[in-house]
Amino acid sequence: MKFLDLCKVYIRSGSGGGGAVSFRREKYIEFGGPDGGDGGDGGDVWAEAVDGLNTLIDFRYQQHFFADNGQHGMGRQRTGKTGEDIVLRVPVGTEILDEDEETVLADMTELGQRVLLAKGGNGGWGNLHFKSATNQAPRRANAGQPGVERTIWLRLKLIADVGLLGLPNAGKSTFLAATSNARPKVADYPFTTLHPNLGVVGVDNVEFVVADIPGLIEGAHEGRGLGDLFLGHVERCAVLLHLVDGTSGTLIEDYHTIIAELDAYGAGLADKPRVTVLNKIDALDDEERAFLREELEEAAQQKVYLMSGVSKEGLTEVLRALRAQIDDSRLRTKAEEDTGEEDAPWQP
């Protein structure tokens, strides 16, 4: 299934049915009077957050959603049928934006949440409503109100607890593959990750969700590389995991590149709690590890963890550091039969 996190959708609620102009025509009833029924209301357009979806790919194949119109009123005081509503089923974490792509109409952050996007038009009154002592045979009825037609944007921001950051080939996908059942593409060339991946990671009998996004490069906020299109998927994360390639010859520059892109993107990403990790230490000796760690700690002004996604060295320590930054309300307790050893939470 392809990944799609932004799409344009056209919606229209149903128009109300018109009221009827009708009179009783029955044998032996000399003064029958008006009996025109009201028109039915038009259908509404709703959005609902549902389980089991993590992409907007369904909206690539259908972009137009029209609710049914209300039925016209009829004689003998019969009211027209109300139009059927239509529901846009979206993944949890979807933002609904107005046509300007800036105004947020709704943020679907909870399972089962429903939002009214377009109200159907009211049905018109039949001539029975206009009967009075001075107008006992009204020959007028109201037309139904028109429906609401609008263009909206759907933007998905994945719900995750930890967001992975780093330059291309910093080892983000390797980390996700080593700590969860996710199987992202791993290769020895940049930009192997072309869309976000989610993985459920466990440590000390609790689980949390990690989001791996495509790597950033300098100038991503200006559209270079894959740009910052996917940074929205880590906006909702409780903590960011910043992986720095220990085998890079420009270690400190790499670190500052990512920090600068977070600052340029905004949305509070630069202020989020961050765990910094010197990755790929399996390719470094003890002296190199100590030297690079000291340099990176001086640049980051915080503790730097050592880790290797390939040899799994230091993984547990990093996971525990992430777990400490996540509120208990966001964590999920592992089932007893699924709990593995604490020192090796990534093993089945």
- Residue ranges for the known binding site for Mg(2+) are 173, 193
> Taken in order 309, 314, 319, 325, is the CA torsion positive or negative?
negative
Full DSSP string of 27-86 = TT-S---B-PPPPPPPPPEEEEEETT----THHHH--EEEPPPPPPPBTTTBPPPPPPPE
DSSP conformation class of 314: T
Residue 267 backbone class (left: φ over 0; alpha: ψ -120 to 50; beta: rest): left
Q: H-type helices in the chain, by residue range?
A: 58-61, 172-179, 251-265, 286-300, 315-324
DSSP conformation class of 284: S
Pick the closest to residue 129 from 25, 30, 26, 19 (CA basis).
19
How far is residue 222 from each of residues 134, 229, 234, 262, 291, measured CA to CA in Å?
72, 10, 19, 12, 34
How far is residue 157 from each of residues 6, 54, 76, 109, measured CA to CA in Å?
9, 9, 53, 9
Binding residues for GTP: 166-173, 191-195, 212-215, 279-282, 308-310
Order the strands of the 114-118 sheet from edge to edge. 86-91, 45-50, 114-118
Residue pair 93/102 in contact (Cβ under 8 Å)? The answer is: no
What residue type is 77 in one-letter code? Answer: Q
Q: How far is 141 from 137, CA to CA, in rounded Å? A: 12
SS3 243: strand
Binding residues: 166-173, 191-195, 212-215, 279-282, 308-310
Interhelix angle 286-300/251-265, rounded to 10 degrees, is 30
Q: How far is 322 from 273, CA to CA, in rounded Å? A: 9
46 membership: H or E segment, kind and range = strand 45-50
Q: How far is 100 from 308, CA to CA, in rounded Å? A: 44
Q: Which two tokens stand for residue 281?
A: 């230490």
